[in-house]
């Protein structure tokens, strides 16, 4: 992560400035993920597979469903929204973001495993 001054800063340096009670939840989650998942090869491989399956399951028909939902809303307007199209659109958007998170976890695990294979570190 690069700060406003252009210097490279890490999550650990940000966390060292604040005490534990004021550390944002995302930094605590990243620390836990690094310590519990990315530091162990078998766990990293297992999480890689689970996150890939979650990403695949979440995105199979996501594009087609989003297009169909938006088309339905544009054709039928307020009636479509009253019949639940707005709720379905919201659910599809949440599913999109959950799939994105699964993809990010997959890429983190893939990068860590690749570094272990190539560098042996």
Write out pLDDT tens, residues 8-57.
Answer: 545 455 445 445 565 688 888 889 999 999 888 999 999 999 999 999 98
Please say whether the dihedral angle defined by the alpha carbons of residues 115, 29, 3 and 105, taken in this order, is positive or negative: positive
pLDDT at 12: 53
Interatomic CA distance for residues 90 and 112, integer angstroms: 33
Please say whether the dihedral angle defined by the alpha carbons of residues 112, 118, 120 and 121, taken in this order, is positive or negative: negative
Q: Percentage of residues in the chain with pLDDT exceeding 90?
A: 43
Does position 62 have pLDDT exceeding 90, yes or no? Answer: no
DSSP 21: G
């Amino acid at each position: 992560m690069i700060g406003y001054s252009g210097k490279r800063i890490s999550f650990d340096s940000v966390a060292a400035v604040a005490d534990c009670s004021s550390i944002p939840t995302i930094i605590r989650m990243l620390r836990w993920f690094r310590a519990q998942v990315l530091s162990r090869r078998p766990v990293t491989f297992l999480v890689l597979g689970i996150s890939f399956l979650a990403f695949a399951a979440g995105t199979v028909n996501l594009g087609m469903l989003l297009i169909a939902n938006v088309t339905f809303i544009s054709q039928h307007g307020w009636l479509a929204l009253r019949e639940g199209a707005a709720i379905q659109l919201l659910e599809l958007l949440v599913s999109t973001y959950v799939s994105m998170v699964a993809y990010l976890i997959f890429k983190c695990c893939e990068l860590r495993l690749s570094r272990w294979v190539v560098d042996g570190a």
